[in-house]
């Protein structure tokens, strides 16, 4: 399914469009005339003289209403409709909330341009979400089926290799360089090495969670997303700080059970707090900058966030080791 825009799924056939000035009897007669040769929707859309959508009425309601009533008096003025430029996710949310199987699509002037069926939008959204999951994992293309032939296997390797290669280079040269630089501290206090996986894993989990939330919000492309990003970042930083305090205490106390070194426990506590905040900032900045540069934040975020937060976690940890041990 190569298309992800709402307009791709808009149809201009299979539904009835009538002026609100006609009677219920005339509307039913028109519906019967149109429905004989081809199936049509059970919803009749009502427009004014300028073709602007003013409401809708279901066929069952027309059958129960007085035949001489005007269509404008029996229609529902609040019948759900969606803007042509709205994201598919917004259309699906509206359809689920209102429990409808179809909805009218209007342009910026409120003129009816067609309708969409909810089941087609759900299929599209499912496909888009599948693609996003693959991109968040750093895989450039999702494979619809397993193919064991060599060209397909090579293609699959290439799709995964780009950002994995980036991670390997960062790990070998940058993270390895940091460990080499602080080699003396490692030799002097070997116990510090026991907690490197804990700190890196903690920062990675927080950073990945943050980037996933921000990528999803950026992908929706809804109005006012900038203000909500800032609000969400503030909330995440506060939450991350609290998590850093709680889990930092747990890690510090746990270290005392094994090594009884209060200075090491203090280093771990402070490092956990700092890493949690920095990981959230990285998890926000990478998707945001990717979005601003016109790159797909879903593809870039996970591998880059993981690599950068690993390096920063090591750097923060060993800087405090140098200062306090």
pLDDT (tens digit, 0 to 9) for every residue of the chain, 325 residues total?
A: 445 678 888 888 888 889 989 999 999 998 888 887 777 788 889 998 888 999 999 888 888 889 999 998 999 998 889 999 888 878 888 888 888 888 889 998 888 898 888 888 877 777 676 666 666 555 555 555 556 676 767 776 776 677 678 778 887 888 888 988 998 888 888 999 999 999 988 887 888 778 877 777 776 655 456 677 788 889 999 999 999 999 999 999 999 999 889 999 999 999 999 999 999 999 888 888 887 887 767 666 677 777 888 899 999 999 999 998 7
pLDDT at 33: 85
Delimiting residues of CATH 1.10.357.20 domain(s) in the chain: 181-324
| Nearest-angstrom CA–CA distance, 217 and 156 | 28
Written out in words, the top-level CATH class of the domain with range 181-324 is mainly alpha
pTM surpassing 0.95?
A: no
pLDDT at 321: 93
pLDDT at 129: 67
CATH 3.10.580.10 matches 6-127:
yes
Structure tokens that stand for 244 in this block = 């850093």
pLDDT at 320: 94
pLDDT at 1: 45
pLDDT at 10: 87
Delimiting residues of CATH 3.10.580.10 domain(s) in the chain: 6-127
């Amino acid at each position: 399914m190569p298309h992800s825009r709402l307009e791709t799924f808009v149809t201009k056939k299979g539904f009835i469009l009538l002026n609100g000035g006609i009677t219920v009897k005339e509307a039913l007669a028109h519906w019967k005339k149109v429905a004989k040769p081809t199936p049509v929707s059970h919803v009749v859309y009502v427009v004014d003289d300028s073709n602007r959508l003013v409401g809708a009425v279901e066929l069952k309601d027309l059958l129960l209403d007085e035949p001489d009533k005007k269509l404008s008096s029996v229609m529902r003025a609040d019948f759900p409709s969606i803007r042509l430029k709205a994201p598919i996710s917004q259309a699906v949310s509206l359809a689920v909330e209102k429990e409808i199987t179809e909805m009218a699509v209007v342009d910026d002037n409120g003129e009816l341009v067609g309708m969409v069926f909810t089941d087609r939008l759900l299929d599209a959204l499912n496909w888009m979400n599948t693609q996003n999951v693959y991109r968040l994992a750093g895989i450039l293309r999702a494979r619809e089926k397993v193919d064991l032939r060599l060209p397909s296997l090579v293609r699959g390797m290439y799709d995964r290799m780009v950002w994995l290669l980036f991670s390997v280079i960062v790990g070998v040269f940058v993270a390895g360089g940091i460990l080499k630089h602080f080699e003396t501290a490692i030799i002097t206090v070997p116990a510090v090495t026991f907690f490197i996986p804990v700190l890196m894993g903690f920062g990675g989990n927080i950073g990945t969670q943050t980037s996933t939330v921000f990528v999803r919000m950026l992908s929706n492309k809804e109005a006012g997303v900038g203000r909500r990003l800032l609000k969400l970042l503030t909330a995440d930083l506060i939450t991350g700080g609290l998590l850093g305090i709680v889990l930092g205490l747990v890690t510090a106390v746990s270290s005392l059970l094994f090594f009884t070194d209060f200075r090491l426990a203090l280093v771990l506590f402070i490092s956990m707090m700092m890493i949690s905040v920095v990981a959230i900032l990285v998890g926000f900045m990478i998707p945001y900058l990717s979005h601003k540069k016109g790159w797909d934040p879903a593809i870039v975020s996970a591998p880059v966030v993981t690599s950068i937060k690993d390096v920063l976690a090591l750097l923060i940890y060993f800087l405090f080791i140098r200062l306090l041990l």
